[in-house]
Amino acid sequence: MEENSVITEQAAERVVLVRPGPGLLHAAVAAGLDVWVVSDIAAWPPDARFPAGLPPQRLLRADFEDAAALRALLADTVLRHGIGHVLHLASDLGRGLGTGAAAAAEEVLRDLAMTRPEPAGGLPDAVTVRRILNQSRTSAVRAEEATTVAGARALAEDFPLPVVIKSADGSGRWWTVPVHDRPGLDRWAEQAVAARHSAPYLVEELLTGAKFHVETLTVDGMHLVAGITPEGDAAPLPEGEQAGIRATVRALLDLAGYECGTTRTDVLVGARGSRIAAAAEPDPARRRGAALPCRGHER
Q: Residue 161 in contact with residue 223, Cβ under 8 Å?
A: no
pLDDT of residue 129: 95
d(CA 216, CA 265): 8
Classified as helix, coil or strand, 252 is: helix
Number of C-beta neighbours around residue 99 at 10 A: 8
d(CA 275, CA 232): 18
- Which residues 6+ apart lie within 8 Å of 228 measured at CB? 212, 213, 214, 237, 242, 245, 246, 267
ω into 51 cis (within 30 of 0): no
d(CA 87, CA 220): 12
Domain ranges, ordered by start, for the chain: 3-119, 142-205, 210-280
pLDDT of residue 15: 86
Classified as helix, coil or strand, 118 is: coil
- Between the CA of residue 133 and those of 12, 180, 235, 262, what are the distances in Å? 29, 24, 26, 19
pLDDT of residue 253: 95
Q: Which CATH architecture has domain 142-205?
A: 2-Layer Sandwich (3.30)
Residue 181 gets which letter from DSSP?
S
Q: Which CATH architecture has domain 210-280?
A: 2-Layer Sandwich (3.30)
Q: Residue 148 in contact with residue 199, Cβ under 8 Å?
A: yes
The strand pairing partners of 220, in sequence order, are none
Amino acid letter, residue 126: A
pLDDT of residue 102: 56
The strand pairing partners of 262, in sequence order, are 217
Going residue by residue through the chain (299 aa), what tens digit of pLDDT does each one get? Answer: 333 333 333 443 788 888 888 888 888 888 888 899 988 876 776 777 778 878 888 999 888 777 778 778 888 888 788 777 777 776 666 655 554 555 565 665 666 556 555 555 678 999 999 999 999 998 999 999 999 999 999 999 999 899 999 999 988 889 999 999 999 999 999 999 999 999 999 999 999 999 999 989 888 888 988 889 999 999 999 999 999 999 999 999 999 999 888 899 999 999 888 999 999 886 443 343 334 444 433 32
pLDDT of residue 22: 82
ω into 160 cis (within 30 of 0): yes
Q: Which CATH architecture has domain 3-119?
A: 3-Layer(aba) Sandwich (3.40)
d(CA 23, CA 162): 36
- Between the CA of residue 34 and those of 15, 49, 167, 278, what are the distances in Å? 6, 18, 39, 31
Closest by CA to 217, choosing from 247, 256, 258, is: 258
pLDDT of residue 72: 82
Categorise residue 225: left if φ over 0, alpha if ψ from -120 to 50, beta otherwise: beta
Number of C-beta neighbours around residue 65 at 10 A: 14
